[in-house]
Structure 1
Amino acid sequence: MLVSDLVTRIAGEIDALDDRVQGAAELSELVRRKALPQASPFAFVLPNGLIARNQGDAGAAAFTQMVDEVFAVVLFVRASGDVTGAKALPTIDALIWAVIEAVCGWGPDDAIGVFHMRRGQLLSAEAGAVIYQLDFGLQQQVRIIS
């Protein structure tokens, strides 16, 4: 559910990515075919795991723990005729900051927190493409009552 919320948010907020944001299944298919997206720029939103914020609290038949649910936004920009990807760097830089502005501080209506930036890193700048990953966390709470 949160992946589709993020896809909708990014596509709606960033004109360059309108109709160019997809989820993990689409990226998985491209990887399987050893292909790159035909359109540029492009983004994929992937669930990226859970990170505990604390050890949790137990008592009176209840357990609670704060966790960050982490999502990756993988950005792809073609750099035709530029094997190193240097020509795409201004485009990817603008796109990185547009995604950060669209996601940070926003949260779905049913969330207890808002998205925050965790990290960003260059994954690849070769074969005529620049690929950059941004990780965002959303604070969630585990609640178990026995």
Structure 2
Amino acid sequence: MLGLLIARLEALVPDLAHRIDGAAAFTRLMESKTLPSGGVRAYVLPTGIRGGQGDALAGAFTQPIVRTIAVVLLTRSVDAAGERALGRLEAFVDEIVSALAGWAPADEVGVFELRQASIIPTDHGLLGYQIEFSITDQLRITS
């Protein structure tokens, strides 16, 4: 699912083309404390799964679940590209929301819904902004 999210964001948000990574790159960035340069970098991260009441009948188990993901934007607030990105942050966030809200990547039961968006704490001249989405799906397990 994350690969499809990244592809959609790259296609519909031109400023993110070739500037989106997943959890592994985000972890490396946090460990190395290396700052992204040249504008905005985005990271698409799975942030959790919440399960509802399950049901087991005739060798099949089903359970509604809600998957949450976050699009984390990081930009250096101290360089020219970062300043340009900060200047259009609200419009940029709106583009991301428009690209994902109401869309489903495959056979999920629901579509992505915006949960929240806010600035997140960072260090070293970085601005962080996290946009969270959720989508309803269903576990289907047969024995």
With structure 2 as the length reference, what TM-score do the two structures score?
Answer: 0.86
- The Cα offsets for residues 18-51 of structure 1, whole Å up to 9 and x where unpaired, read as 1111111111111111112113111100111101
Q: What is the match of residue 11 of structure 1?
A: 10
Are the equivalent residues in 2 in contact too, given 1:92–1:130 (CA < 8 A)? Answer: no
Q: What is the match of residue 120 of structure 2?
A: 123
Q: Distance in 1 between matches of 2:50 and 2:117?
A: 17
Q: Please list, as runs of the form range in 1=range in 2, the aligned pairs for 1:1-146 lying within 5 A after superposition.
A: 2-52=1-51, 54-80=52-78, 89-124=86-121, 127-146=124-143
Q: Distance in 2 between matches of 1:21 and 1:130?
A: 16
Q: 1:29 to 1:125 in 2, by over 3 A?
A: closer
Look up the SS of the partner of 2:121 in the other structure: strand
Are the equivalent residues in 2 in contact too, given 1:23–1:44 (CA < 8 A)? Answer: yes
Tell me the percent identity: 36
Q: Distance in 2 between matches of 1:104 and 1:94?
A: 15
Compare 115-124 and 57-66 and name the one that shifted more.
57-66
Report the residue type matching 2:98 in the other structure.
E
Look up the SS of the partner of 2:105 in the other structure: coil
Q: Distance in 1 between matches of 2:36 and 2:17?
A: 15
Q: Distance in 2 between matches of 1:137 and 1:98?
A: 17
- Which sections of structure 2, spanning at least 5 residues, go unmatched? none
- Which sections of structure 1, spanning at least 5 residues, go unmatched? none
Q: Distance in 1 between matches of 2:102 and 2:133?
A: 11
With structure 1 as the length reference, what TM-score do the two structures score?
Answer: 0.84
How many residues align structurally?
142
Across the aligned residues of Structure 1 and Structure 2, the Cα RMSD in angstroms comes to 2.3
